[in-house]
Chains A and B, each alone.
Chain A
Amino acid sequence: AQSVTQLDSQVPVFEEAPVELRCNYSSSVSVYLFWYVQYPNQGLQLLLKYLSGSTLVKGINGFEAEFNKSQTSFHLRKPSVHISDTAEYFCAVTGGSNYKLTFGKGTLLTVNP
């Protein structure tokens, strides 16, 4: 079975500051890893994914994430955030069955002016 831990439930930052949203996972099999974003009153949208290859993956809106197998982590980063990045961010993992995504509990990123 897989599990995902998002270490921060809320992250407030000022506009143009860098941000890191932390995600750790556990799995007994090889995994695929994902970050989804949910803007207010909307469904989830895929931000980026790690399937194989380079451990640094780039996504939409200037976000990137690094897969670290030894630390079982997949932290999300952005060097300079905008007000429009205010949203809830979910880390997710598959393993074994590709149909099933296991989601973390989410991190609410609030960008203040």
Chain B
Amino acid sequence: DVKVTQSSRYLVKRTGEKVFLECVQDMDHENMFWYRQDPGLGLRLIYFSYDVKMKEKGDIPEGYSVSREKKERFSLILESASTNQTSMYLCASSPTDLPYEQYFGPGTRLTVT
């Protein structure tokens, strides 16, 4: 079974804090993704990575950065958290030969106060 794990299920941070969300997958997938999920908006792609140290902007990268130093780990960084970044964050991974077959983690619900 593909396992995608996220470091926290729930996180509460203050405005202006630097926030790290960690994602680890155990299936040796080349591709990894970060989405945010908001009610009525569905999922929106923030960043994705198709190889170690490679990254591409998604649809809503503003206010976020990412890091991928190892194949299995993909981190989302909020440099200075703001209240409009309160959301559910979902990580996913997929293999090179089937990039659209994405396997999702359970999500991190981030609240910025």
A residues adjacent to B (C-beta < 8 A): 9, 32, 34, 36, 41-46, 49, 90, 94, 98-101, 103-106
Residues in A neighbouring B92, C-beta threshold 8 A: 43-44
Give the size range of B's interface with the partner. 20 to 34
29 CB-based A-B contacts, threshold 8 Å: A32-B100, A36-B104, A42-B107, A43-B4, A43-B90, A43-B92, A43-B104, A43-B107, A44-B90, A44-B92, A44-B104, A45-B104, A46-B103, A49-B100, A90-B42, A94-B100, A98-B99, A98-B100, A99-B48, A99-B50, A99-B56, A99-B99, A100-B58, A101-B43, A103-B42, A103-B43, A105-B40, A105-B41, A105-B42
Chain A residues closer than 8 Å to B75, beta-carbon distance: none
Residue with the highest number of chain A CB atoms closer than 10 Å, among B42, B100, B103, B105: B100
Min CB distance B58 to A, Å, is 7
